[in-house]
């Protein structure tokens, strides 16, 4: 099982140009890096904010919220809810299972198209933060992503942090990385009302 401490926001509409430019110029090692494009297929579980199930690249992922970690503040513009999630991965080496085509006729499975920019950060022993390439192996760190989402032909966008590492450091890894990322942020408010994980978001989208 993989454990991560997460902080997320979701907003309707296309990712604003000024926020995309801010992220590319201030968060990415390579501002010209092309985004990742993929389709994830989620199982909608009504009134079940603590469980996330999805198909991603012929793999089944199951996430369970283990704890709500409280509210985090970053200056006057940014407030979000931190959560601890456990994740299990299941792959079929034969490629016969976990294919989206097998479930998309069921309305409870929701296809989400994603165009995502992401950056991995290493959190050092003194909690200073350093951007690294994604193929580097680190013990304590945090990934940051900003994503255009398309679901039922409707546009949304999301900003998210996912911290990993030693149990005693994971929340501090999240705090340190978000503080470093947001010290240059001067755009629209990121409010606590918009801070939640994918299972909750699936209950809000136009079905």
Asked if the structure places residue 142 within a domain, the reply is yes
Q: Is residue 206 very low, low, confident or very high in pLDDT (cuts 50, 70, 90)?
A: low
Q: Is residue 192 very low, low, confident or very high in pLDDT (cuts 50, 70, 90)?
A: very high
| CATH code, domain carrying 66 | 3.20.100
136 is in which domain, residue-wise? 2-202
Asked if the structure places residue 68 within a domain, the reply is yes
Span 67-114, pLDDT tens digits: 999 999 999 999 999 999 999 999 887 777 788 888 888 889 999 999
pLDDT for res 176: 97
Spatial contact of 26 and 159, defined as CB atoms under 8 Å apart:
no
Asked if the structure places residue 207 within a domain, the reply is no
Q: Is residue 58 very low, low, confident or very high in pLDDT (cuts 50, 70, 90)?
A: confident
Asked if the structure places residue 28 within a domain, the reply is yes
Is the pLDDT score of 190 beyond 90? yes
pLDDT for res 104: 81
Q: What is the mean pLDDT of residues 44-61?
A: 92
pLDDT for res 40: 95
173: how many CB neighbours lie within 10 A of its CB?
A: 26
Secondary structure of 103-122 as H, E, C letters: CCCCCCEEEEEEEEEEEEEE
Asked if the structure places residue 52 within a domain, the reply is yes
Give me the percent of the chain exceeding a pLDDT of 70.
Answer: 99
Q: How many helices (H) and strands (E) does the chain have?
A: 3, 9
pLDDT for res 141: 96
Asked if the structure places residue 167 within a domain, the reply is yes
Alpha-carbon distance values, 197 to 8, 9, 41, 162 (Å): 6, 8, 15, 11
Which helix (H) or strand (E) segment holds residue 8: the answer is strand 2-12
Q: What is the mean pLDDT of the chain?
A: 93
Span 138-161, pLDDT tens digits: 999 999 999 999 999 999 999 999
Cα 132 from Cα 111, distance rounded (Å): 31
Is the pLDDT score of 207 beyond 60? no
Number of domains in the chain: 1
pLDDT for res 140: 96
Asked if the structure places residue 30 within a domain, the reply is yes
């Amino acid at each position: 099982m993989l454990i991560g401490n997460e902080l997320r926001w979701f907003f309707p509409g296309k990712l604003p140009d000024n926020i995309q430019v801010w992220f590319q110029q201030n968060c990415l090692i390579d501002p010209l890096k092309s985004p990742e494009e993929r389709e994830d297929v989620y199982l909608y579980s009504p009134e079940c904010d603590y469980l996330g199930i999805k198909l991603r690249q012929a793999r089944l992922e199951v996430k369970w919220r283990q704890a709500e970690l409280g509210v985090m503040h970053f200056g006057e513009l940014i407030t979000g809810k931190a959560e601890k999630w456990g994740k299990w991965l299941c792959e079929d080496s034969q490629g016969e299972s976990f294919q989206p085509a097998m479930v998309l006729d069921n309305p409870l499975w929701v296809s989400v198209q994603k165009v995502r920019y992401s950056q991995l950060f290493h959190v050092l022993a003194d909690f200073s933060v350093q951007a690294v390439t994604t193929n580097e192996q680190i013990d304590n760190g945090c990934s940051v992503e900003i994503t255009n989402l398309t679901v039922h032909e409707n546009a949304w966008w999301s900003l998210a942090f996912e911290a990993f590492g030693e149990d005693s450091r994971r929340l501090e890894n999240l705090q340190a990385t978000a503080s470093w990322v947001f010290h240059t942020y001067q755009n629209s408010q990121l409010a606590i009302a918009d801070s939640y994980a994918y299972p909750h978001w699936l209950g809000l989208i136009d079905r």
